[in-house]
Amino acid sequence: MKQNWFEIISIWVLVAIGATVALMSLTSSEIYGAFAILLAGSLALVSLVQLFRAQPAGFVRRLVYVGGGSYLILAIATVVFWLRG
């Protein structure tokens, strides 16, 4: 599982960067769509990595960690967006 943490944290970093860019450049009517795309993209990316890896052990755990962490990052970004007003 140690190797998987690098993959998981890398995806979280990409989501955080995407959320930051979205907060800085998108209007209020576009931001929630961008957040949805980031969440779906994070799950698609971990699934794509799994497809090339072809090791079924720990796949659901990686999906849960990536999805949960991405959701938390985007929830924090949403609070920042609301506070920025």
| pLDDT for position 1 | 59
- Domain carrying residue 18: 2-84
Q: What amino acid occupies position 46? A: V
> pTM score > 0.85 for this model?
yes
Cα separation of 33 and 57, whole Å? 33
Dihedral sign from CA coordinates of 1, 64, 42, 15:
negative
| pLDDT band of 35, cuts 50, 70, 90 | very high
- How many distinct structural domains can be found in the chain? 1
| pLDDT for position 55 | 78
Tokens representing 59 are: 């796949």
46-85 pLDDT, tens digit each: 999 888 887 788 889 999 999 999 999 999 999 999 998 7
CB atoms within 10 A of CB 53: 15
Mean pLDDT value of segment 8-19: 96
